[in-house]
Amino acid sequence: MSDQLSLLIRAGNPLIEIETTDEHRAREVVMAVAKTLLRPLFEWTVTQGLSCTDKSVNLSSSSEPSRPAEEVRAVLNFAGQFPERAIFMFHDLGPHGTDLWVRRKLRDLHAQFAESRSTMILVEGNPLPPGIRHLGVRHEISLPTPDELEQIIRATFKRAGSESVVGVSSNITRSTLNQIVQILRGLNRGEAERAISAAIHDDYVLDVDDIPRIVEAKRSLIGTGCLEPIAADFSVDDIGGLDNLKKWLKLRRAGFSMHAREFGLEPPRGVLMLGVQGCGKSLCAKVVAADWKMPLLRLDPGVLYQKFVGESESQLRQALHQAEAMAPVVLWIDEIEKAFASASSASADGGLSKRMFGTLLAWMQDHRHPIFIIATANDVSALPPELLRKGRFDEIFFVDLPNVEAREVILAIHLKRRKREPANFDLRKVANAADGFSGAELEQLVIASLYSAYDENQSLTAAHLLAEVDKTSPLSVIAAERLADLRAWARDRCVPAD
């Protein structure tokens, strides 16, 4: 990272933009490069004024004007008059770029520094204004590496021990430590320190039980743009049926570990789940994230499409870039056919859906980040054939209506959630009567029965459940032809989830 910045400076780039929220890390990198290149480094902020690492340099009163606007002008004038080759690091100078004088001065300095080989580095929390954005080259401050994250964990634990009156302890194994490091990927140094510190100070112990807390801390930090962080407070036991899918996921659970990579395994890429609405496809995404102890991000297709030319593609690229930065994560694309509905046919959107779809396919094929994609779809006819090609996903599962055993388990799950003992009900009789019901319809069956029992001032019984079965026309009856077509299509193309 510092080598790349050093190269940009030695190549004579007059202005370098570093857009980052980790200002501390950016400052460390710039100071290290300046020291290596033996160049004086001037640093300016609106609150601290101008300072220099070379104490022999006399700054006079160039950083002392009373108003920020005057100070910016004084500092830029000082930079233009400084006789030696130097590095000038400005924090949050971008907002001042709306000032016509500042824009003009930056252009003048750009031309001057191209000759003198001095360098301006703008450390910004937001993109530069259009008037000065084109002057600079961007430099990315990378996030901490796994080795650095491990050092952060150890340093944070040591500091917590020195600050605590009662002391702290740890009994984590090497594999647990590696798992915590993987979870912290995508956070900057300060965010990682705070996540670990919170886990330690909760009970003054750092152990495997802190992993869910660290996952939740990371989840709360990454909800921006088109990616929505979703709480994954489920377990595998919350899904009835889908035994084949559960076995497949269990087999690949450890695929993101360091040990698996040393063994020669690549991380699993993801699954596409097709099937009947309300049969647990979306729930699977939450269960996988919870079971694998990874944050869950949902890509909202509705937010992707913008009215201005180029903005939609930019939104998708930003979302994918953010997912890469936050990896390892589970990336959930719900009802993917709706996001790219026009990509498989002639569209009236000027080819936007096809371009967006091409961007997604290229990324799915080429990315090497630990991101597990779960895409769900209800309408296979709207899916472009390129998406179904082997290699895009590890497997394509078809989620059908639950069989009688699965229906019995699903009914028991929803009764337990509502503080009812399943053993007090003849659930096999109810499950047989509810043939053709989806998981979502079985949940609503329990809810409707509870309302009926409450209205009658009675305890809930199997009779209430059976009465609601008779009143309900499930989707399998309402859309029987469509379901038959879906099953026929999936018969030789997909792996049964159950």
CATH of the domain at 409: 1.10.8.60
- Answer with the one of 116, 138, 160 that is the final residue of a domain: 138
**Beta-sheet pairing, 41-45 with 49-52:** antiparallel
Average pLDDT over residues 230-242: 77
Average pLDDT over residues 378-387: 75
Same domain, 335 and 427: no
Q: How far is CA 419 from CA 135, 241, 326, 370, 402, in A?
A: 64, 22, 37, 39, 23
DSSP, collapsed to helix, strand or coil, labels residue 337 as helix
CA distance 109 to 35: 23
Average pLDDT over residues 63-78: 70
Nearest CA-CA partner of 36 in 88, 91, 87, 110 = 87
DSSP, collapsed to helix, strand or coil, labels residue 43 as strand
- Domain that residue 214 falls in: 146-221
Between helices 174-184 and 211-219, what is the axis angle to 10°? 10
pLDDT: which is higher, 145 or 462: 462
- Answer with the one of 157, 192, 221 that is the final residue of a domain: 221
24 inside domain: yes
13 inside domain: yes
Same domain, 201 and 314: no
Q: Report whether pLDDT(442) > 70.
A: yes
The alpha carbon of 67 is separated from its chain's Cα centroid by a whole number of angstroms, namely 41
Averaged pLDDT of the chain: 84
Gyration radius of the chain's alpha carbons: 29
CB-based burial of residue 37 (10 Å sphere; 0-12 exposed, 13-18 middle, 19+ buried)? middle
Same domain, 236 and 317: yes
Same domain, 113 and 202: no
Question: Which pLDDT band, with edges at 50, 70 and 90, does 293 fall under?
Answer: confident
Same domain, 359 and 311: yes
Number of domains composing the chain? 4
CATH of the domain at 91: 3.40.50.300
Q: Report whether pLDDT(307) > 80.
A: no
Quickly list DSSP for 286-319.
HHHHHHTT--EEEE-HHHH--SSTTHHHHHHHHH
176 inside domain: yes
Same domain, 10 and 124: yes
468 inside domain: yes
Q: Report whether pLDDT(89) > 90.
A: yes
Which residue in the block uniquely carries the two structure tokens 């001032």?
457
In sequence order, the β-bridge partners of residue 354 are none
Q: Report whether pLDDT(387) > 50.
A: yes
386 inside domain: yes
pLDDT tens string 331-346: 998 888 776 655 555 4
Quickly list DSSP for 51-85.
EES-TTS--TTTT--SSHHHHHHHHHHHHHH--S-
Q: Report whether pLDDT(42) > 90.
A: yes
Nearest CA-CA partner of 461 in 414, 411, 426, 413 = 426
Q: Report whether pLDDT(61) > 60.
A: no
pLDDT: which is higher, 287 or 156: 156
485 inside domain: no
Same domain, 267 and 392: yes
- Say what the pLDDT of residue 431 is: 93
CATH of the domain at 170: 1.10.8
Run of H or E including 374: strand 371-377
Question: Which pLDDT band, with edges at 50, 70 and 90, does 65 fall under?
Answer: very low
CB-based burial of residue 31 (10 Å sphere; 0-12 exposed, 13-18 middle, 19+ buried)? middle
Run of H or E including 271: strand 270-275
Same domain, 311 and 408: no
Same domain, 266 and 385: yes
CA distance 177 to 362: 33
- Say what the pLDDT of residue 341 is: 57
- Say what the pLDDT of residue 428 is: 93
Same domain, 108 and 251: no
pLDDT: which is higher, 305 or 132: 132
pLDDT tens string 195-228: 999 889 888 889 888 888 887 787 676 655 567 7
Same domain, 273 and 333: yes
Same domain, 298 and 233: yes
497 inside domain: no
Contact 323, 367 (CB under 8 A): no
- Angle subtended at Cα 405 by Cα 270 and Cα 417, rounded to the nearest 5 degrees: 80
Q: How far apart are the first and last CA of the chain?
A: 48
487 inside domain: no
- Answer with the one of 221, 246, 281 that is the final residue of a domain: 221
CA distance 105 to 111: 10
Contact 147, 182 (CB under 8 A): no
